[in-house]
Structure formats: C-alpha cells, structure tokens
A and B are shown apart, each in its own frame.
Chain A
Amino acid sequence: SQQGEEDPQALSIQEGENATMNCSYKTSINNLQWYRQNSGRGLVHLILIRSNEREKHSGRLRVTLDTSKKSSSLLITASRAADTASYFCAPFGGSNYKLTFGKGTLLTVNP
C-alpha cells in the first residue's frame, strides 16, 4: 500500500509557535504530497516534494524527505489560528493513478 501514516495524530500549540508533523510510508515513491483539510471541507494541496529532492520550502511551509527512511516531515513556522486543520501526507508511487491517505494530523493552533 502507498498509504502514508501521519504522526502525531493530534497536535495543539500556541499561535506563533512552530508545528512539525511527520509521515512514514512503505513503498518506493515518485513524489510525496501534503494536503490540508479544514473541518468538513475538501482537501487542499499544499506542497509536493519529488523523490530526488531532500527539502522544499513554500512560504511558511518546509517539507523534508528522507527516502532511505521512507519518511517526510512538514514544518509550519509561526503558526496562526487559521492553520488549524487536519494535515495529510500522500505518497505517490507513479505505478498507478491513485492517492491514498492516512488518518492525518489534527493541528489546533490556539490564539
């Protein structure tokens, strides 16, 4: 299965702090993607990191990828209350056309 497993399941921090979420997967990948879901809404694509990249930045987001350990991390710096959401990682193997998701990390940013 290409499903990613996010850790921790829940994370609660104060506004202004950094939030780090981790993802582990089991198969070889073409890329790994992170998505955000606000409560009861659709997922939104945040960032994609290819298998030959080790780190990628986008605004306040920093993603790392370690293919030898089959793991990735998402760092959100200077968190805001609006960052409160569930975050999902999705490893993409390229061998088929589906993305599967784990249970996600529920991030709560307290004002």
Chain B
Amino acid sequence: KAGVTQTPRYLIKTRGQQVTLSCSPISGHRSVSWYQQTPGQGLQFLFEYFSETQRNKGNFPGRFSGRQFSNSRSEMNVSTLELGDSALYLCASSLAGVLGNGNTGELFFGEGSRLTVL
C-alpha cells in the first residue's frame, strides 16, 4: 500500500508569489490534515479536510487555504508569500470517519514539502 505522497518535495519562491502544494493520501483514507513546521513555532495545525469539507482550521491568516477533491487528494495554497512562510509543510491522512466509529485519530504523514521563500 503506497504511503502519503507530497509534491513537490522542495521549492523556492520569492516574496509576493503564491505556491500550491499537493498531497495524495493513503488509498481509502478520506481525511487529510496539513501542518506547518518551523524551528521557532514547531508543528502547527493548518486545517483538516474530510469528504471535501473543511472540518477544522488552525490559527493562520486567510493567505493559507486548502481544498480536497472527490478522490481525497488535497492541495494547499499560500498566496502573497512572506519570508516567514519558509517551512516544512506536512500532510497527513487518516481513516477518520464518524467519531466513535473506530476513529483513533492516528495520522500517517508524508515526507513533507520544504518551502523556502527568498
């Protein structure tokens, strides 16, 4: 079974540009979560999608957005990039469905997309 795939693995952008990151979850997983990891702030939750609906959102500005497609693949977009957006962006998928229905919250992570903003 293939794991979570994130593309691209590395990218360099300049301030003011926008970026789109892609995440393909494990087959059969319908929940996708996104995290930003920086040395200063650690791992911060961005948002979580299930069946094309955003169910949870972290405390990030509106420049950060995401979506999920009918095949559970997800994308996140960051517009008007700032230097502080340089980070490792991690995607994680899970089986999460209806609460209480065997939902343990266990996450399966991809290897991340390393974004550098110059």
Contacts and interface: CB of A to CB of B under 8 A. Distances in A.
Interface in A29-78: 30-31, 33, 35, 40-45, 48
Given A98-B33, A98-B56, A104-B42, A41 B112 contact: yes
A38 to B, nearest CB: 10
B105 A92 contact: yes
Contacts, number: 69
A87 interface: no
B: interface residue count bin: 20 to 34
Dominant secondary structure of chain B at its interface with chain A: strand
Interface centre among B4, B50, B105, B112 (most CB of A within 10 A): B105
18 contacts: A33-B104, A33-B106, A35-B109, A42-B90, A42-B92, A42-B109, A42-B111, A45-B107, A48-B106, A94-B99, A94-B100, A96-B56, A97-B56, A98-B48, A99-B45, A101-B35, A101-B43, A104-B43
- Interface size classification for chain A: 20 to 34
Interface in A67-111: 88, 90, 92, 94-104
B71 to A, nearest CB: 19
A45 B45 contact: no
Interface in B59-80: none
A33 B92 CA distance: 15
B104 A41 contact: no
Contacts of B33: 98-99
Contact of B88 (A30, A40, A101): A40
B114 A42 contact: no
A33 B88 contact: no
